[in-house]
Amino acid sequence: MSRNVVLIPVYNEERHLEGLLSRLRQVYQDDVLLIDDGSVDRSPTIIKTLLDGRTASILQERNRGYGATLTAGFQEVVKHGYDYVITMDSDGQHRPDWIPEFFRLIPAWDIVSGSRYSAESDKMGDAPPDRRAINATVTARINHLTGFSLTDSFCGFKAYRVSALAKLDLSDVGYAMPLQLWLQARHHGLKVVEQPVSRIYDDPSRRFGGELDVPEVRLQLYLETIERERSRWNL
């Protein structure tokens, strides 16, 4: 029987954590790993109340970034010998209802990636225009270099075969880490498929932070990351 885990990075999500774990446990009873990325709200305290025999946590003392937090989680699931891991965000935009389907699909693949922009995705909100445009531009570039047929290169709702994940060398600490993932997946010949998921945008005030709130700066960062990985892996 396979060993499964759900990995959830957390940063200042005190409003969502208890509800997320409650909904998650309605459809999934195995291991959960919460990794707090130096939250300055009540998230670390709430996480401690959620711990039990199937729910563990890592509380990072300082904010390291989205990519660094996920990578730390990947290292943990590799170290502890899990077979499959699902990653999902803690901000309410990923519905736990999809978890059983991800775990059903992943044994035939190396990565099952959620898509909010597949024709089959159910829509529960409109993405901000700059995010949608950047996602489309970056996804087209990723597809050109990899031969994949992605419709959403940034969705954090994914399932991984842990043995495939262990092959990757992910170093970007921020939001560009998924772009490293796709080019390295191509380099290592990983089998990739998308799974339509719900597109939920219920908080238009959310920001990336700092200069990344400027769409042109964000797009430039993403394209530069792709080019570095393309050169690194000779794609």
Beta strands in the chain (DSSP E): 4-10, 31-37, 55-60, 84-87, 111-115, 158-161, 192-196
Tell me, what's the pLDDT at 201? 64
- Say what the pLDDT of residue 82 is: 98
Q: What is the pLDDT of residue 157?
A: 97
What span, in angstroms and rounded, lies between the C-alpha atoms of 130 and 119?
20
pLDDT, block means (10 residues), the chain with 235 residues: 96 96 97 98 97 96 96 97 97 92 98 91 76 96 98 97 97 96 98 92 70 91 98 97
**CA 209, CA 2: separation in Å to the nearest integer?**
38
Residue type, position 215, single letter: P
Query: What SS3 state is found at 35?
Result: strand
Count of domains forming the chain: 1
Domain CATH for 36: 3.90.550.10
Using CA atoms, how far residue 106 sits from 43, 64, 90, 174, in Å, is 30, 29, 21, 26
Residue 209: predicted pLDDT? 80
CA distance 202 to 225: 29
Q: Which residues contact 102 (CB under 8 A, 6 or more apart)?
A: 86, 112, 114, 157, 158, 159, 195
pLDDT at 120: 74
Which amino acid makes up residue 204? P
- Three-state secondary structure call for residue 197: coil
Task: State the residue range of the domain holding 95.
Answer: 4-232
pLDDT at 202: 63
